[in-house]
Structure 1
């Protein structure tokens, strides 16, 4: 035992010395290349003296990076993450300036700009050197993995003996079932292919199961249902609540906190992750103690706010910080190049990708990915029972480039390599882990409503209400037809150039969009307006919307007939007269093209307290996948997105669940998994199975009695592995 400790100590000293030596050489090379970086006195020094100066500078810089950097990052936790990522270069450069100032006789000198460059290069070289040494030493590699685990939990595990398997749920945001299947077939995701035995000679370890979303096919509704067991009264990504006079948006911290509170109150349970769980990069906590980048707690401040622990855990390592900052810049450049290429080629459909979007994309695809992956690594090495993490990169890129675009495919390649990294870490975790992949929705392609018809849904609603609309909208065919319909309904002659009068003392309608789902509310009317009220107040509005070629159907409520689905040419479906799951071939228009489950999904949403006065679903044009709402057909987004989700129609409503065969099947043969709440039930069942107590409800298991400290930063080995991903992708 003593000999082993001495050998370990000797190897550690050798690695430190090697990294120091390489850092010294790097500093000498940079001093020769950069005229503003000096390691000698103005009168000149001998080569030996310059070498000693470089060694002192490299040693002090390394020591400051190890000791001061974590304190600096912790002090900046309240700085927005995007700003922190941009500050990484300058903070690291400042440490180098401090290191140079400590060299005796003032031999170290640099201007601030050059210091930033030198510090970045030295951090990257030090990380690469340390990684190379660790990779060659299997014992050191294994020790570096376990060093990340929480020491208290490791001691407890040693006393308690073997533990039940843990479960890691990785959500690939926006990746539809068919997109995943095709990416595997095309060789873009070899790690997932290995799980599905798509490579010759590999035994299958996972099963792929599609599931069907609710009408609101978006992260807010799906993730709330998955993590908390209820997405009741979440009609869309954003909606208007009349009693409060406010718009609720799922990705606002205050709204996310309120939605989580309502779900917990409805179910009486804190969530899926209440027993030794961790929530990473999600909108909601799931009841977990360990939180990083969780939106529902992001509005909190002070010591009680642990949501940003993931940022500290990751950026406290300067090598990680520099690597991520460099990847961030590379991603911004990549997005600018890709959008420019699409514009020069005249790619259609296309949306604007300028302004801040390149930085938003880089944050989602680089910063958030790196921080979330690092946090999950820490969770597995700490031996936590259940982890749920959301990787949002694909969803962000697919919105603006298209779900089947080359840009989105490149993101899938990088996500697959992150999955490979996590699978490698699982082999060194203190307990066995079952990795479950899933998505919260898919995406449906198609041009925007505005691009096709020259006006927005809001413009069309205003025109149907007889309210003034922008001149550009009046000049479109849709705007002119809506204006004519209003004048005819009011028995007024159609006069060219005439202006509609604004109804007196009436607040204008609130029109909101969630992908290809639109919501129209009239704030001045208490409660939900009925069809009869709408016809009396705006007799042309419902016919204008229902007969528009870009709109598939409307949902309204009638005083006489209950929930009604309205379509073109006077089509009308009384939902109360239909079964929940009728034969799609026998379903009347306009719901026939939207596939199985459309009736049940629309009827369920009709029962929500905050459903809009008018729910508007865009038209759906089936593509190669055929009719039935599950192929590659196109929808028309009411937002500026060419890959959208939020309503019915196409691949957006068909996500996936990829689970190990060691877990029970999600559903019986021939059955279908429908709705996020059912997915929650499946995941709970799997956690009960892992706890060896399938007959005991998860809520009955004991709560944790202590909160372990936040996950420590990812090891340099993982940083290098991920760096290789970036190099190959670039």
Structure 2
């Protein structure tokens, strides 16, 4: 009997919400008819207020029914349309649905201009969505359904998935957030990230880990998800045996790197057992993947890789909300870059052109879609989910890792994590939320800004090659690579992942004897394409006698790795050398400023087949950890030096950590596999409590408390 009463009350609440939303939509439609000069509604009997209200109610009802029944089918049919174009089409299609609704409404306005219909539909969608959300605040079941709709999914149906056999695990990668940056964001007064500050010491513990020499997303995430980043020497490199340039965030390169890792390990990946990969470079072997770069080029799977966009835009209100946030973020970037220029901030790089839109894509569209997909995966009961949130990394590249702009992005990421934690309370299984980063970022003046020359020009000088216009043109191409992560994701979303000529290919336009110079943050690579295999020290000296002295004597170069007769050799300033095979050091040790793990990291990379002929690492400031990026970046990563090699891991306290330090991304893969092993599935804890935004820092560290209804409605749009 009690169940019947509960079901009856739930049905009454549902009917009440539907009627309330209908009333608000009708009122909104009537208000728009009063405000917009070219839009009027009237009934067949005349223009009394009662009759106009009835017409507005019928029109709003028709629009609501058509949106509920027809809209998901329209969006699914448009999956082959580029994702960003789909986001824009949402408004026009929604307006078309409204025009159809007016046509079937007796006495409804039949002559509404299409542009006016788009505006009316957007406002009505936003009003009805806000009303539905507000009415569901105190209803846990309704809130769960709202979260499911946010992700374009329904809650798990009986028989749709096997019953949960233990806790699930959600890995949220906060791209580019270093350990020290996160620690400061959690321990400040007040904390920049209050949600995570409430977890620290109560439900989670924070630890640092050390990256490989290539401290960038491609190497780290490939190892985390697939267990191996062997032969990934940098973010971009040239392979002599194929004559191809590999770029980690290029779809074809990502697919090839994933194939190589799977062949090397014999395992499909960390997410192969009922997992989901969202917004990553690699799939991790997950059957469910969305916005994944390595999947984008597989035959017949492009639309599946973009289902995250369908899941998000199938609710028209999401398009309205994201469009407003996108516009606000573009304006925010323009204001912040102008303020930075007026303050005279250093380092400072150019932030004009398309960058404001690329930043908005990374910090709003990618974030919202990825978070919605994660929420949907949790409500569907997926066993393991891995998602990459790139917002901080994108902004820190251009504004600096410790800038005001980057700190504000951290605060908005904290609200995204809050939404995921709230969703865990409505999932069919308990979830352990693990946060981590793939690398940090090191600030510092760019190499060109500090010394007035680029690495490419310095190499050409050492090889006694003329610079001239071609070098300047290539320098402009290098500057355009700013925002590489967001740019690649946007191209993929537009179904233009690799169209057009890239800057790397332009390097092969010169004679075969000219060296190819590439950059990955503060790591530079030099390859001689006409020398078969790895060039030795002696071959380089015969080819360009002045090159190595020019590099090692430059104040911005920390060390150079080259293959000598007795094995790998590291050359540094003041005649310092370090023979890696024997450990023999002559003069000042070039690797000493880079910490105790530098020798092992460089020695490991030397064994890679596609390590460049010369690997050049910039200097690092002994006190600040600042480096000099060989690219146009105020905050960089990719080599050794400073916080870039020190990312974080924030994990639930019940998940065991090893006594020894975590060195290399492959160590994280091994650790995560242990956490996901069947023997560990029985270990679980309640979802972390989310303190309300007004909670003072002292109370944030208190034991978990119930989440208030207001806290549940936190938005990912920031």
For the aligned pair, the TM-score class normalised by the smaller chain equals 0.7 to 0.9
Counterpart-to-counterpart distance in 1, 2:211 and 2:276? 24
Who is 1:576 aligned against? 581
CA-CA distance at 1:604 after TM superposition: 0.4
Aligned residues of 2:144 and 2:423 also touching (Cα < 8 A): no
Who is 2:25 aligned against? 23
Of 626, 633, 638, which aligns to 1:646? 638
Who is 2:329 aligned against? 331
CA-CA distance at 1:505 after TM superposition: 5.8
Counterpart-to-counterpart distance in 2, 1:117 and 1:37? 11
Q: Secondary structure at the match of 1:351?
A: coil
Who is 2:173 aligned against? 171
Of 185, 192, 201, which aligns to 1:188? 192
CA-CA distance at 1:301 after TM superposition: 4.7
Aligned residues of 1:211 and 1:657 also touching (Cα < 8 A): yes
Distance 1:588 1:570, change over 3 A: closer
Who is 1:634 aligned against? 626
Counterpart-to-counterpart distance in 2, 1:519 and 1:42? 76
1:431 aligns with 2:429: yes
Counterpart-to-counterpart distance in 2, 1:506 and 1:306? 41
Who is 1:562 aligned against? 567
What does the per-residue CA deviation read over 1:375-396, in whole Å, with 9 as the maximum and x for residues that have no partner?
1111111111111111111101
Aligned residues of 1:293 and 1:308 also touching (Cα < 8 A): yes
What does the per-residue CA deviation read over 1:557-603, in whole Å, with 9 as the maximum and x for residues that have no partner?
01x22101111232211111229xx9xxx994221111120000000
Q: Secondary structure at the match of 2:562?
A: strand
Aligned residues of 2:133 and 2:146 also touching (Cα < 8 A): no
CA-CA distance at 1:718 after TM superposition: 11
Q: Secondary structure at the match of 2:305?
A: coil
Q: How does 1:468-483 map to 2 (within 5 A)?
A: 468-470=466-468
CA-CA distance at 1:330 after TM superposition: 1.2
Distance 1:607 1:459, change over 3 A: same
1:535 aligns with 2:527: no
Counterpart-to-counterpart distance in 2, 1:463 and 1:396? 33
State the TM-score, normalized to the length of structure 1.
0.85
Who is 2:597 aligned against? 597
Who is 2:49 aligned against? 47
What does the per-residue CA deviation read over 1:73-113, in whole Å, with 9 as the maximum and x for residues that have no partner?
22222333333333333332332233233333453543233
Who is 1:524 aligned against? 530
Q: Secondary structure at the match of 1:168?
A: strand
Q: Please list every run of 5 or more consecutive structure 2 residues that lacks an aligned counterpart in the other structure.
A: 473-508, 684-708
Q: How does 1:184-583 map to 2 (within 5 A)?
A: 184-186=186-188, 187-197=191-201, 204-302=202-300, 305-470=303-468, 506-558=512-564, 560-578=565-583
CA-CA distance at 1:33 after TM superposition: 1.2
Counterpart-to-counterpart distance in 1, 2:551 and 2:320? 52
Distance 1:164 1:43, change over 3 A: closer
Q: Secondary structure at the match of 1:37?
A: coil
Counterpart-to-counterpart distance in 2, 1:184 and 1:634? 23
Of 684, 688, 703, which aligns to 2:673? 684
Aligned residues of 1:131 and 1:720 also touching (Cα < 8 A): no
Counterpart-to-counterpart distance in 2, 1:138 and 1:386? 24
Who is 2:498 aligned against? none
Who is 1:658 aligned against? 650
Counterpart-to-counterpart distance in 2, 1:82 and 1:639? 28
Aligned residues of 2:226 and 2:268 also touching (Cα < 8 A): yes
Q: Secondary structure at the match of 1:234?
A: coil
What does the per-residue CA deviation read over 1:138-185, in whole Å, with 9 as the maximum and x for residues that have no partner?
45335656783231456742xxxx621111111110000000000011
Counterpart-to-counterpart distance in 2, 1:504 and 1:330? 44
Aligned residues of 2:574 and 2:588 also touching (Cα < 8 A): no
What does the per-residue CA deviation read over 1:327-357, in whole Å, with 9 as the maximum and x for residues that have no partner?
1111111111111221222222111111111
CA RMSD of aligned residues (A): 2.6
Q: Secondary structure at the match of 1:278?
A: strand
Aligned residues of 2:440 and 2:646 also touching (Cα < 8 A): yes
What does the per-residue CA deviation read over 1:226-250, in whole Å, with 9 as the maximum and x for residues that have no partner?
0010000000000000111110000
Counterpart-to-counterpart distance in 1, 2:374 and 2:587? 45
Q: Mean Cα displacement is larger for which, 250-259 or 505-514?
A: 505-514
Distance 1:93 1:344, change over 3 A: farther
Counterpart-to-counterpart distance in 2, 1:27 and 1:431? 42
Counterpart-to-counterpart distance in 2, 1:139 and 1:260? 40
Counterpart-to-counterpart distance in 2, 1:168 and 1:649? 30
Distance 1:14 1:521, change over 3 A: same
Who is 2:695 aligned against? none
| Greater Rg by CA | 1
CA-CA distance at 1:34 after TM superposition: 1.4
Q: Secondary structure at the match of 2:713?
A: helix
Q: Secondary structure at the match of 1:577?
A: coil
Who is 2:11 aligned against? 9
State the TM-score, normalized to the length of structure 2.
0.86
Distance 1:143 1:648, change over 3 A: closer
Q: How does 1:592-631 map to 2 (within 5 A)?
A: 592-623=592-623
Distance 1:304 1:341, change over 3 A: closer
Of 60, 63, 83, which aligns to 2:62? 60
Q: Secondary structure at the match of 2:283?
A: coil
Who is 2:664 aligned against? 675
Counterpart-to-counterpart distance in 2, 1:275 and 1:316? 28
Q: Mean Cα displacement is larger for which, 682-691 or 77-86?
A: 77-86
Distance 1:225 1:318, change over 3 A: same
Aligned residues of 1:36 and 1:110 also touching (Cα < 8 A): yes
Counterpart-to-counterpart distance in 2, 1:561 and 1:230? 28
What does the per-residue CA deviation read over 1:369-421, in whole Å, with 9 as the maximum and x for residues that have no partner?
11111111111111111111111111011000111111111110011111111
